[in-house]
Amino acid sequence: AQTVTQSQPEMSVQEAETVTLSCTYDTSENNYYLFWYKQPPSRQMILVIRQEAYKQQNATENRFSVNFQKAAKSFSLKISDSQLGDTAMYFCAFSGYGANSKLTFGKGITLSVRP
Amino acid sequence: GAGVSQSPSNKVTEKGKDVELRCDPISGHTALYWYRQSLGQGLEFLIYFQGNSAPDKSGLPSDRFSAERTGGSVSTLTIQRTQQEDSAVYLCASSSTPPSEQYFGPGTRLTVT
């Protein structure tokens, strides 16, 4: 079984600044996916970014990038130029292959962007 | 195109009653997942469908919970004899090629009184 740990329950950042959200995971699998999902107060889960474990290059999506350290089982999310609309819960999640493709989530972190 | 839809968006029921929650996945998505989100337990996996079969139903918390999927499309999650601890938001997600990204519906908030 795999586990996902997000140890910071909440963070705050000034608008336009950069913030990093931490995530560690544990698995015995070699091939898997990692994701960051965003859940604003509207409750809609939105995919922010994904990383395939066999790819060494860190994924980037506009202002969002990850630092994927496979050996350390670490997967942090960096948000650059933070915007008020980034205020939300952020969940780190793990997915295996085949019948193990369900998402295993961390407990989430509440991010507040201050104007 | 249309995203994942769920109905109802909110459901209030009395303890002991049965409820049915519905999920319409994105057209063409073969994989469908149910999750539950509650304050105490966070986000928990319930069941995974590939087509009409369920290769992983390990997350169903008790035999009061069941789910089916027909025609490789719509899925229904049924909770029998509801208990107060069943109160949560029930989320459905679908995917075209697991384990690629899952697309989530808006959820059904279930309140058991």
Q: Is A35 on the interface with B (CB under 8 A)?
A: yes
Question: pLDDT > 70: what percent of chain B?
Answer: 99
| Surface of B (37-76) touching A: CB under 8 A | 42-43, 45, 48, 50, 55-56, 59
Whether the per-residue pLDDT at B97 is higher than 90: the answer is no
Residue of B102, B103, B110 to mutate, interface with A, max A Cβ within 10 Å: B102
Is A96 close to B99, i.e. CB distance below 8 A?
yes
The DSSP secondary-structure symbol of B41 reads: T
> In this predicted structure, what is the pLDDT of residue B40?
77
Find the closest chain B residue to A93 by CA distance.
B43
Contacts of B27 (CB under 8 A, 6+ apart): B1, B2, B73
Residue B92 pairs in a beta bridge with B34
pLDDT in tens, B48-73: 999 999 889 999 999 999 999 988 89
SS3 B33: strand
List chain A residues with CB under 8 Å of B33: 102-103
A to B CB pairs, distance under 8 Å: 59
Low-confidence ranges of chain A (pLDDT < 50): none
Give strand pairing partners of A66: A77
Could you tell me where the DSSP H helices lie in A1-115? none
* Cβ-contact B78, B13 below 8 angstroms: no
Whether A115 has its CB under 8 Å from any CB of chain B: the answer is no
Query: CB distance from A68 to chain B under 8 Å?
Result: no
Contact between A35 and B101 using a beta-carbon 8 Å cutoff = yes
* DSSP character at residue A18: -
Question: Least CB-CB distance to A102: which of B48, B89, B101?
Answer: B48
CA distances from B64 to A24, B14, B36, B56, B61 (A): 34, 15, 15, 17, 8
pLDDT surpasses 90 at B99? no
Q: Say if residue B29's pLDDT is above 80.
A: yes
**Mean pLDDT (whole number) for B82-111:** 93
Give the model's pLDDT for residue B1.
57
Q: Which amino acid is at A2?
A: Q
pLDDT, position B59: 95
